[in-house]
Amino acid sequence: MAGVRWTDAELKFLEENYTSKNSCKYIAETLGRSIRAVYTMADRMGLSVQWEYRRIDKDGYVEVVLGSSVKKKEHRYVYEQEYGIVLSGYEHIHHLDEDKQNNVIENLVMMSPANHNRLHAMIERKDIEALRKFEAVLLYHDVPKYQKWLNSFFLQCDIV
**Cα–Cα–Cα angle for 127, 155, 134, rounded to 5 degrees:** 35
Q: Does 75 bind Zn ion (CB under 5 A)?
A: no
Q: Which residue is nearest to Zn ion, using beta carbons?
A: 94
The nearer residue to Zn ion, 124 or 158, going by C-beta atoms, is 124
The nearer residue to Zn ion, 54 or 94, going by C-beta atoms, is 94
The nearer residue to Zn ion, 82 or 98, going by C-beta atoms, is 98
Binding piece for Zn ion, criterion CB under 5 A, among 2-10, 93-101, 126-134, 146-154: 93-101
Binding piece for Zn ion, criterion CB under 5 A, among 13-21, 63-71, 88-96, 129-137: 88-96
* Number of residues written out for the chain: 160
**Cα–Cα–Cα angle for 91, 128, 143, rounded to 5 degrees:** 40
**Which of 36, 27, 26 is closest to 3 using CA atoms?**
36
Binding piece for Zn ion, criterion CB under 5 A, among 3-11, 80-88, 89-97, 127-135: 89-97
Q: How far is CA 137 from CA 10, 60, 96, 132, 140, in A?
A: 45, 27, 15, 11, 9
Which of 33, 75, 76, 94 lies at the binding interface for Zn ion (CB under 5 A)?
A: 94
Kindly state the smallest distance separating residue 79's Cβ from Zn ion, in Å: 13
**Positions that interact with Zn ion (CB under 5 A):** 94
